[in-house]
């Protein structure tokens, strides 16, 4: 492989040319996320019934309670009558409530039979409780980050923020999603804590962040559409999401992106 700009020879896993600093074609070809989605879809075809129990578990114990809590809190709590302390406490309570149920939607990442197979282990009490703790920590870290950027970008009842920060909030929200998407797979395959997995994803996958974001955007839209269609399609879209995130993360690891980092 050679650099398109200066024609210097590139190693198989070089993402940047050491001569001119240009990005190599590998980011848009070898590490593109959409072909991985297509390949994962093909690998899952014909085995959908195997994933229904795990998907149903994630929907009943994770997704439905989170949606119900969000719906109820939007009517019960009025932000207009809160002072600063009440406002912050409200965000913290929401963070904890969502973090209690979100792990049930993430635990399937710990149920892969092997990194190469497309089968899931049976859901059992042992598998749930052994994985719940680290996914609760993972959930609370994310929830607190969202609460923090919400306060910074939207301000408090007694302390308004600059309106331009609303746009910053959108950028931070989407960028954070692209950072944390590979983290559950790194937790399982690398034996990392939730915080270390997030940090490793941030440091090592910077060059393919747009690829990860595109994948997260497509999966979010597909699952939101499935949720809006009376939940039933989620039984099939959730397994796709779990496996494609695993496949793409393992592809990045196999490309030796964990061998260097962005300081």
d(CA 182, CA 200) in angstroms, rounded, equals 10
Instruction: Specify the higher pLDDT residue, 24 or 175.
Output: 175
Q: How confident is the model at residue 22 (pLDDT cuts 50, 70, 90)?
A: low
Say yes or no to pLDDT of 5 above 80. no
CA atoms within 13 A on the CB side of 239: 28
Return the pLDDT at 171.
Answer: 93
Return the pLDDT at 47.
Answer: 80
Return the pLDDT at 263.
Answer: 47
Return the pLDDT at 85.
Answer: 85
Task: Quick: pLDDT tens for 66-88.
Answer: 999 988 887 776 666 677 888 88
Mean pLDDT of the chain: 86
The three-class DSSP label of residue 9 is: strand
Say yes or no to pLDDT of 119 above 90. no
Question: How many angstroms separate the Cα of 179 from the Cα of each of 172, 207, 219, 258?
Answer: 10, 11, 15, 14
Instruction: Specify the higher pLDDT residue, 40 or 15.
Output: 40
Percent of the chain with pLDDT over 70: 86
Instruction: Specify the higher pLDDT residue, 6 or 71.
Output: 71
Which DSSP symbol is given to 61? Answer: I
Q: In the chain, where are the structural domains located?
A: 31-259
Extract the tokens encoding 155.
């301000």
Return the pLDDT at 122.
Answer: 73
Task: Quick: pLDDT tens for 158-174.
Answer: 776 778 888 999 999 99
Lowest mean pLDDT among 96-100, 182-186, 255-259: 255-259
């Amino acid at each position: 492989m050679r650099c398109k700009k200066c024609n210097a020879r590139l190693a198989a896993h070089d993402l940047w040319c050491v001569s001119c600093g240009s990005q190599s074609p590998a980011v848009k070809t070898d590490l593109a996320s959409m072909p991985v989605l297509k390949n994962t879809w093909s690998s899952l075809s014909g085995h959908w019934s195997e994933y229904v129990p795990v998907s149903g578990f994630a929907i009943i114990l994770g997704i439905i309670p989170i949606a119900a809590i969000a719906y109820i809190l939007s009517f019960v709590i009025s932000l207009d009558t809160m002072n600063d302390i009440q406002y912050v406490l409200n965000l913290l309570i929401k963070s904890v409530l969502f973090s209690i149920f979100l792990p049930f939607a993430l635990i399937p990442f710990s149920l892969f039979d092997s990194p190469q197979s497309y089968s899931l282990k049976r859901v059992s009490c042992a598998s749930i409780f052994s994985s719940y703790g680290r996914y609760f920590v993972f959930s609370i870290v994310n929830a607190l980050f969202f609460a923090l950027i919400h306060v910074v970008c939207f301000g408090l009842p007694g302390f308004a923020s600059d309106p331009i920060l609303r746009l910053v909030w959108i950028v931070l929200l989407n960028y954070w999603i692209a950072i944390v998407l590979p983290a559950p797979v790194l937790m399982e395959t690398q034996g990392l804590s939730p915080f270390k997995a997030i940090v490793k994803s941030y440091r090592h996958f910077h060059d393919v962040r747009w690829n990860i974001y595109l994948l997260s955007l497509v999966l979010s839209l597909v699952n939101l559409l499935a949720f809006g269609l009376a939940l039933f399609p989620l039984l099939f879209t959730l397994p796709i999401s779990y496996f494609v995130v695993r496949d793409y993360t393992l592809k990045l690891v196999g490309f030796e992106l964990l061998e260097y980092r962005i300081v």
